[in-house]
Amino acid sequence: MVTRLEARGLSHSFDAARDVLVELDLVLSGGELVCLVGPNGAGKSTLLRVLAGLLEPTRGDVRLDGAPLFSIPARRRARRIARVPQGLDALPQTSVESFVHGGRYPYLGAWGRARAGDRAAVDAALAAADVADLARRSMEELSGGQRQRVLVARALAQESEWMLVDEPTAALDPEHAVGLFRLLAALAAGGRGVLVATHDLALAGRFADRVVVLDRGRLVAEGGAHAVLTPQVLVPVYGPFLHFARAGTGEGDGETKPLVVPWSAGDAGPADPQKPGV
């Protein structure tokens, strides 16, 4: 059975003055890589935290395979859903290997004893995130990009059905950014559900099975990259700071994908959403 994560009528506010998320309806399925895009303050990170079970919605409902998400005990929920945050609030004084091993906490037995498969899961996660060579290093020694890849490894070690990933490429160089999206696409192809909040519209166009656009807490568009990553959809959301083109995938099949990159139109005035290049 394909796993499903659903939000119905979802709203969330941190105070009475304003809803950060407004009446969202969203259905996610295993086997697809969904990119969540939108400007700063659109509500992307908040939505990921609600879907991961870290924030209860003010109104509405979240269900995992039909069960109310917040009725599932936290440890069991962590076996189903892994979240990769944007960064760490505080740097742990531990090795990379020990930090990634922390991703196995949903499976620890009595008295925190490790299971036989934990070592293999950690080794596989380190290799998949391309941080095996950092295993003995201290977390404090790493660059921002290296730490981000270690956070991905920790989530992989959870072996969850769902990966909710928040801005994973913000600190990565192009090689590792593309490599990470290839990894996430492979996870989705293997049946996992993958939701990625990202500002990288080019990588979303290249790898996403579906793109969801948030603006001021509202879902304003969703669909395939060809339908969503267009001037008609994105210029009203982002303004005149994008250039739209198409690029080949490099896989020899002649296929092209939407390519959307930050751009300045100088003093040309407001962007015309009918023009392919803005």
For residues 207 and 165, what is the distance between their CA atoms, to the nearest angstrom? 14
Q: β-pairing, 4-15 with 162-166? A: unpaired
Please name which of 181, 202, 167 lies closest in space to residue 87, comparing C-alpha atoms: 167
H/E element holding 205?
Answer: helix 201-207
Copy the structure tokens of residue 159: 């072996």
Pairwise CA distance, residues 258 & 245, whole Å: 6
* pLDDT at res. 18: 85
Contact at 8 Å (CB) between 176 and 168?
Answer: no
Phi, psi of 43 (to 5 degrees): 110, 10
Supply the pLDDT for residue 253: 74
| pLDDT, position 275 | 46
Two tokens, residue 128: 């998949």
pTM of the model: 0.92
- Give residue 110's pLDDT: 60
Separation of alpha carbons 110 and 278, rounded Å: 59
What tens-digit pLDDT sequence spans the chain (278 residues)?
A: 899 999 999 999 998 778 999 999 999 999 999 999 999 999 999 999 999 999 999 999 999 999 999 999 999 999 999 999 998 888 899 999 999 999 999 988 665 666 778 999 999 999 999 999 999 999 999 999 999 999 999 999 999 999 999 999 999 999 999 999 999 999 999 999 999 999 999 999 999 999 999 999 999 999 999 999 999 999 999 999 999 999 988 777 778 999 999 998 764 444 444 444 43
Nearest to 151 by CA among 55, 105, 86: 86
Looking up tokens 């599932």, which residue turns up? 72
Tokens matching residue 207: 């790898």
- Pairing mode, if any, of strands 33-37 and 210-215? parallel
Angle between helices 118-128 and 144-157 (to 10 degrees): 140
What ranges make up the beta strands (E) of 108-233? Answer: 162-166, 193-197, 210-215, 218-223
Domains detected in the chain: 4-229 (3.40.50.300), 230-278 (no CATH)
Closest among 199, 178, 121 to 153, alpha carbons compared: 121
Q: In the prediction, which pLDDT does 123 show? A: 97
Question: Could you tell me how far CA 107 lies from the centroid of its own chain?
Answer: 23
How are beta strands 59-64 and 4-15 bridged, if at all? antiparallel
Residue 225 makes CB contacts below 8 A (sequence gap 6+) with: 204, 205, 208, 210, 211, 257, 258
- The pLDDT assigned to 269 comes to 43
Residue 78: count other Cβ atoms within 10 Å of its Cβ. 19
Q: Are 29 and 193 in contact (CB under 8 A)?
A: yes
Tokens of 34: 């969904």
